[in-house]
Amino acid sequence: MKFKQWALIICLAALIGFEWPLEAKRTLFWPTPGFTFTKGSNPADFVQPTESGKMKSALFGCVRNDGERFHEGLDLAPVRRDRKGEPTDPILAAMDGRIAYLNRTEENSNYGLYLVLEHPHVKPTVYTLYAHLRNIKPSLRLGDKVKAGDKIGIMGRTAGGYAIPVDRAHLHFEIGLRLSDEFDSWYKRNKYSDSNFHGNYNGINLLGIDPLDFYEQYKRREVDSIYTYIKALSTAYILRVSTQKFPAFLRHYPELMDRQIPSDAIAGWDIRFTWWGLPIGWIALKADKVSAIKKGQVSVVSFDRESLETNNCRETILLTENGPIIGDRSRQILDIIFGQP
């Protein structure tokens, strides 16, 4: 093979995937063929805003409804379209993994056609979610293994219950942790009006990190794994929970424990959270540490006022004149993780 051909192959590899390992020699891929990100261009070049036209509305965080609504993911614009204007971009697996969930019925979810990949080689094990697909690769089945960069579907604009116009077709992409193994029981206990068709892979049960921020830090080699990224996230508040339960969340994510479990019985937990409610650090407590609160109760240990005031759309902690109050979102997250009292 001629030198120029080899050079072209190397350049394409650098554009599609990153050149250094994620973990155990695994590769991290951008989930669409929009090479603008790997070239270092502005997010405005590769994201799809909402009807507002504001670039930030496609990003993660308090970016919707003038900062009043949270968006848990990244909306990526198409690069290719057919004659009718429909996107034709292939959607690529971000990392090696397996098919954890497939939703092939558009009406069953606001995500439309979507799939979830589990990435067990990553510590902590994360899930990537790919939503609003035009189609999911027909040959894919639950449990199938995929390689980073494999085609898993086609970008689209499917969505149950509302319509995404063709000019705003996009991929909604998430990277997150799974809160519970018994989410459907929690869902039924809370008597939601809509059925849960998705078991443990309902979007409420997947709590994410900022995909673009992670990719950018990884690209700059500021982090070398999901683990180092999560451990570097800022703590916005700490909650103390009085319970003897050891939740399934920690069996899946032992890496998030800040200290070893005490030899005698666990009486509670101090849990560190990001401002949007992601639990990123756990310390098991003995009885003397939780004696001031009743079993099953939760108290605020500390909080970062600036972080919570800057990002207040999630309402994880409400800052009042009488002090901090635990918001409904934080209570929901704890209820999902710990289950019934």
How far apart CA 140 and CA 147 sit, in angstroms, is 13
Instruction: Quote the radius of gyration of the chain (alpha carbons, Å).
Output: 21
pTM of the shown model: 0.91
Q: What pLDDT is attached to residue 261? A: 79
Residues 258, 153 share a domain: no
195-217: burial string, b at 16+ Cβ within 10 Å, e else: ebebebbbbbbbbbbbbbbbbeb
Query: Do 213 and 261 fall into the same domain?
Result: no
Mean pLDDT along residues 21-38: 72
In a domain, 265, yes or no: yes
Asked which of 219, 242, 269 is the last residue of a domain, the reply is 219
Q: Estimate to the nearest angstrom the gap between the alpha carbon of 55 and the chain centroid.
A: 20
Strands 97-103, 90-92: parallel, antiparallel or unpaired by DSSP? unpaired
Averaged confidence pLDDT in the chain: 90
* Claim to verify: residue 102 and residue 211 sit in the same structural domain: yes
Q: What domain range is 163 assigned to?
A: 3-219
Residue 131 belongs to a domain: yes
Confidence of residue 295 (pLDDT cuts 50, 70, 90): confident
Q: Are residues 211 and 267 in the same domain?
A: no
Section 307-336 average pLDDT: 95
pLDDT at 6: 41
Give the CATH number of the domain where residue 157 resides.
2.70.70.10
User: How many domains does the chain contain in total?
Assistant: 2
Q: Does residue 160 share a domain with residue 61?
A: yes
Give the model confidence (pLDDT) of 63-93 as tens digits. Answer: 999 999 999 999 999 999 999 999 999 999 9
In a domain, 225, yes or no: no
What was the pLDDT predicted at 16?
A: 45
Which region among 39-53, 165-179, 270-284, 296-310 has the lowest average model confidence (pLDDT)?
39-53
Q: How many C-beta neighbours within 10 Å does residue 164 have? A: 17
Question: Please, which pLDDT band fits residue 341 given cuts at 50, 70 and 90?
Answer: low
Asked, for residue 205, whether it belongs to a domain, the answer is: yes
248 in the same domain as 215: no
Q: Are residues 334 and 296 part of one domain? A: yes
- pLDDT exceeds cutoff 80 at 18: no
Residue 224 domain flag: no
% of the chain residues with pLDDT over 70: 91
pLDDT of res. 293: 84
Higher pLDDT pick, 31 / 27: 31
Structural domain includes residue 254: yes
- pLDDT of 46 above 90: yes
Show the tokens assigned to 172.
Answer: 């909604």
Q: What pLDDT was estimated at residue 13? A: 43
Residues in Cβ contact with 56 at an 8 Å cutoff, skipping those fewer than 6 apart: 49, 63
Mean pLDDT of 221-244: 95
* pLDDT of 12 over the 70 cut: no
Claim to verify: residue 104 and residue 162 sit in the same structural domain: yes
- The answer, yes or no, to whether residue 149 has pLDDT greater than 90, is yes
75 C-beta neighbours (distance < 10 Å), count: 23
95 is a domain residue: yes
Q: How far apart, in whole angstroms, are the C-alpha atoms of residue 87 and residue 78?
A: 6
- What tens digit of pLDDT does each residue of 167-220 get? 999 999 999 999 999 999 999 999 999 999 999 999 999 999 999 999 999 999
Residues 200 and 321 in one domain: no
Picking from 196, 219, 242, the residue at the C-terminal end of a domain is 219
228 assigned to some structural domain: no
Q: What pLDDT band is residue 22 in, cutting at 50, 70 and 90?
A: low
Domain-ending residue, one of 172, 189, 219? 219
